[in-house]
Structure 1
Amino acid sequence: MNWRNLVAALVAVALGALAWRTGRWAGLVFLAGVIVLWVLLHVTRLMTVLKRAADRPLGYVGSAVMLNSRLHRGQPLWKVIAQTRSLGELQTERDAQPEIFRWRDEGGTYVDCTFADGRLTGWQMIRPAEPARPPEEAPAEPAPESPVAQA
């Protein structure tokens, strides 16, 4: 059990005690209504994010460079999906921890994001290697025209 679950349980108990003390059963019913409203708002937000992501190709992002600049540690997976508006392409085995997802742009640049327990722990942006170009040759100068004898 991590510290967030412990804090959430303590806050729930404290709110329940406060609701009971101020309004008895009416206070508890009010608290239950507030909790249900919060859960519905959260589910609606998640469904909106997933609906937008369903309309885009898997693992696609408009600009991998912009995604790289907007990421920060501890960010939940659903917020990264909201930024990219696309589900990431899973690079690891299913249900293995940590999970690595990849988002790629049209230029071939991609960002690999590592998530542990649904939170971003690290990321790496990879740009494609530049193809080796032959050295540019000096433009060929036209050969001087030879005088042609006119008959």
Structure 2
Amino acid sequence: MNFQKIVLPILGVAVVAIAWRAYGWPGVALAAGGIVMWMLLHFTRMMKVLQRAANRPVGWCDSAVMLNAKLRPGVNLLHVVAMTRALGEQLSPKDEQPEVYRWTDGSASHVTCEFAQGKLVKWTLFRPPAPAEGAAAPGP
């Protein structure tokens, strides 16, 4: 169960109630204004991330190796989209948990990420085998 969906609204109501007890209507206006500002900041960040992602191909990243190094368990999907500046290629069926996305770079390396309830659970890096140096040169 996602407690943030329960705790954050209760916390907002508690802040407004405390503001009412301490300062009356001006306190309620200040607390409500602060809550609305906080919500607008998060909405603006989300829109900016999605606007940047709209200008790139789906499932693309600059470097899969660097993305692999930056990933941490518990990071949300929006944060990964912000890091790659692209939406991931969805490999799992729509609206089914866990969600699996893949980001690929120019060298055909890719990172496959698994998200449970929007949080990163595990990820794997795949790098294609490098061609052998001797095999590329023609024989005499």
Tell me the TM-score normalised to structure 1 length: 0.83
Q: 1:8-52, CA deviations, whole angstroms, 9 ceiling, x for partnerless residues?
A: 244223312210111112211211111111111111111110111
Q: 1:60-80, CA deviations, whole angstroms, 9 ceiling, x for partnerless residues?
A: 001000000000000010000
Count of aligned pairs: 140
Structure with the greater alpha carbon radius of gyration: 1
Runs of 5+ unmatched residues, structure 2: none
SS at match of 2:24: helix
The 5 A counterparts of 1:73-112 are 73-112=73-112
- Matched to 2:27, the amino acid is G
The 5 A counterparts of 1:1-151 are 1-131=1-131, 140=140
Give me the whole-angstrom Cα distance separating, in 1, the residues matched to 2:75 and 2:84: 13
Give me the whole-angstrom Cα distance separating, in 1, the residues matched to 2:60 and 2:100: 15
Return closer, same or farther for 1:137/1:117 CA change in 2, 3 Å cut-off: closer
> Equivalent pairs: percent with the same residue?
46
Give me the whole-angstrom Cα distance separating, in 1, the residues matched to 2:137 and 2:76: 52
**Which structure dedicates a bigger proportion of its chain to helix?**
2
Give me the whole-angstrom Cα distance separating, in 1, the residues matched to 2:87 and 2:72: 18
Contact 2:16–2:32, Cα closer than 8 Å, also in 1: no
Give me the whole-angstrom Cα distance separating, in 2, the residues matched to 1:139 and 1:63: 34
- Matched to 1:45, the amino acid is R
Contact 2:60–2:86, Cα closer than 8 Å, also in 1: yes
Return closer, same or farther for 1:139/1:62 CA change in 2, 3 Å cut-off: same
Return closer, same or farther for 1:137/1:45 CA change in 2, 3 Å cut-off: closer
Q: Which moved more, 1:24-33 or 1:4-13?
A: 4-13
Contact 2:58–2:89, Cα closer than 8 Å, also in 1: yes
SS at match of 1:103: strand
What root-mean-square deviation, in Å, do the aligned CA atoms of Structure 1 and Structure 2 show? 2.2
